Structure 1
Amino acid sequence: MTRTLADILRDALADADRRGIRSPTLDRLSNSDVQMLAEKTLAFLRTRPSSESTIPGWRQVGSFEAGVIRWWNEEIDSPVTTDTDVPLRKLRAQIYDYLDDEFGLISKAPGQNAPIHLSPAGEVLPPDETDEAPREIFIGPGGAGFGDAVKNRVVELAAMRKVAEHFEGWEFDDVSLQKVGWDITFTRGLDERHVEVKGVFGRRPSVLLTRNEVDKAAGDPLWSLVVVTQALVAPVVHEFDRNAVVDAASPYVYRAELDRT
């Protein structure tokens, strides 16, 4: 028998009750249940009253107008009370994080009252057997980022602006088009920094690096990585020294030049 959203929510609440904890958590759900809960929640959010988002082509829903917990309670035919409302808040936050960090289908800044930015209706979750997007720092031959090229470019430019603000008081030289292994040379007096900038749509500082960038990280003592997470909504700057980047980097894509026979 096909499981319903109500089945998933009731089972999650019952599991939390059996374990003597207040809130159900996503890690206790099966992959298929997580997939269904995320898909249906995203579809529901797209039906809510919305306005134009600050992210090009996206829509924005207010936190109260979203009404996810009210809808979940309706699905399990339960009145909205403290007994069901509060326990489901953690699960809702985890589903938002799943849609945001794992797939970039929504974007929500921290805070209960922050609006939810929704990707266009044509963007959906991949099937649950699809490989996950990378979670760490990876080395790739062509650069960083998956997904829509236009959105990636908007994120990149927003990150560059934020990093320039972060280094207020430093001289700024954009060398990103010169393919030197970093994006901006910052100077202040005798101090110099070679900063590689990466913009991230979600909250996890997971990026792709080219081989040239990793080589510079390994050999250039002035090199560092700055990742701007949630670059389009609530940008946060994260700095990583070159040794941390080299230690975290792992090959992700390989190029094979093959002779035709």
Structure 2
Amino acid sequence: MSATPAPTGGSAAFEPRRAIVTGSDSGIGRATAVALAGPDRQVGITWHQDEEGAQGTAREVEAAGAVAHVRRLDLSDPAAGAAVVDDLATTMGGVDTLVMSSGTGTSQLLLNMDLETWRHVVAVDLDGAFSCLQAAARRMVEAGSGGRIIAITSVHEHAPRVGAGPYCAAKGGLGLLVKVAALELAEHGITVNAVAPGEIATEMTGQEDESVLEDKHRPGIPVSRPGDAREIAATVAFLAGPDAGYVTGQSWVVDGGMLTMGPMAGSHLQGDDWRRP
């Protein structure tokens, strides 16, 4: 007879006391690392190119009362994800929360794309995420205390975009990986979810990390503005917290209503500019 499965998400008192946030040198990752910081907590911070940014995140995390640990992570070698997760978990004495925010993209039509470009984006956004997820999940299962795994995908997990073929493919694949992992890990008290942002004012969208609640207008988005990284972080913090133990295998779209505009955009576009990235 098989063992009785543990309640999904562990106990109601679950807290993200030892969290790893990849890609936390800027943008959504940075805002998330800060949102998860607090007294009696530890946060693992990773960076690829911006070590100074990661150190800035560490200072904010420590100002919130947590202990910060900074590591370099280059997911163009996907196996590096497992090594860094294991290193941080060992340093922190375990890991109960993983947020996968590392990512890259491209703006190029498929007909013009070489295989190396395709493979690089898929390696970072999908293969690297799998490597991190597997390593963290193994640690959580071994500890037996449940856990939270959250992948930052994109609205392009759900809808395509011209010029973003490998990005859309990787994010769509990551969304289904989340669902499979949610099924397989539920009996261990581990929840697995995705957060799918729309346009967020970060470096990845060609903007700066800043408050955008008043000073930027986007007529094609129902709420008329891009999002703020801290709005994504707030959703992640909920999914990582004690009140989300019954939420798993879901993709939380945080996009100001962007995805609901499909037919409206189709009827109101006045030119063919959308055909080019």
Shorter-chain TM-score tier? under 0.3
Higher helix share: 2
- Max Rg structure: 1
TM-score with structure 1 length normalisation? Answer: 0.25
**Structure holding more strand per residue:** 1
Structure of greater relative contact order (alpha carbons < 8 Å, 6+ residues apart):
2
TM-score of the superposition, structure 2-length normalised?
Answer: 0.24
